[in-house]
Amino acid sequence: MTIQPDSLAGTASATGVHGFEVFSNEAVADGVWRMRCHTPVASLIAPGQFVNVAVPGDSAHILRIPLSFSVAQATSQTLELVYAVVGEGTRRLSCMRVGDTSTMVGPCGNGWALPTHEGRALLVAGGVGLPPIVACARMLAEASVGFDVIVGAQTSAKHVEYLLDELRRLAPDEGCDCARKVLVCTDDGTLGTRGFTTDVMADLIADRPYAQAYTCGPTPMMAGVARLCAKRDIACQASLERMMGCGFGACSCCNVALVAGGYALCCKDGPVFDAREVVW
């Protein structure tokens, strides 16, 4: 399947600059934070799209921070962002307090597309790639598409457990023949089985047929998922991450090398790509 922008759920709303107000911002694990905010973007954004957030109070760091979301509630205009504190920008973001306001550019990019063929979907998330996979799971559940989820992490962490609860809630039909599975693995075995998501995936796809895979996480993991999917002829959408300038296709800084030659832009053509079109 070639992902055409017109076929994607996430292209309906034009990108704009919107205000947001923080109503909670807390650490949910070592180095991982969850921010909930009120913003009109919540009613515009589709699963897999992202926002580019301005953190106030530091004129030395000028770029916005691109973040994917796990939950968007249109009625209450609330957006939930789970992010790892990895640099100065995300450190400052973690310092935003209840009532603080700023702006975000969004919705940005093209999000997850529903499967174009009948059949079950497989979601594979690694580490901080988990939030957009949660948004994907909700999209599939609402569309009554059957799916299983594999979640990998380095070690047991509260943010993984917290989002796992959300995934299990979205996969309530355990016990029946077509039970949805939420499988967890960690590098050190402290949660779920010990091993890599691709090991778990290899066993699972030998057992069950899948029409579509969705993946987000570290690049080596997504490359492994893409390889397994290619072998079994399973369509695969991957959400990529890049250092970004603008977030809406103006600066050409977030290039993604394509198998067909040349580059696409992660912010405008992605962040969700057909895994077969990307050079891993």
Residues that bind another protein (CB under 8 A): 14-17, 54, 59-64, 88-89, 105, 242-246, 248-257, 261-263, 268
Minimum CB–partner distance for residue 254 and another protein (Å): 7
CB of 11 to another protein, least distance (A): 13
CB of 71 to another protein, least distance (A): 24
DSSP state for residue 230 in the 8-state scheme: H
d(CA 13, CA 44): 6
Would you call 52 helix, strand, or coil by DSSP? strand
CB of 251 to another protein, least distance (A): 5
* Minimum CB–partner distance for residue 33 and another protein (Å): 20
The span from the CA of 227 to the CA of 236, in Å, is 10
Q: Which is nearer to another protein, 54 or 223 (CB)?
A: 54
Instruction: Choose between 128 and 265: whose C-beta lies nearer to another protein.
Output: 265
Q: How many residues does the chain have?
A: 280
* CA dist., res. 111 & res. 115, Å (int): 13
Of residues 60 and 176, the one with the C-beta less far from another protein: 60
Tell me the CB-side half-sphere exposure of residue 255, using CA atoms within 13 A.
Answer: 8
Q: Which is nearer to another protein, 50 or 196 (CB)?
A: 50
DSSP codes, 133-144: HHHHHHHHHHTT
Q: Is cis: bond before 271, omega within 30 of 0?
A: yes
Nearer to another protein, 54 or 114 (CB): 54
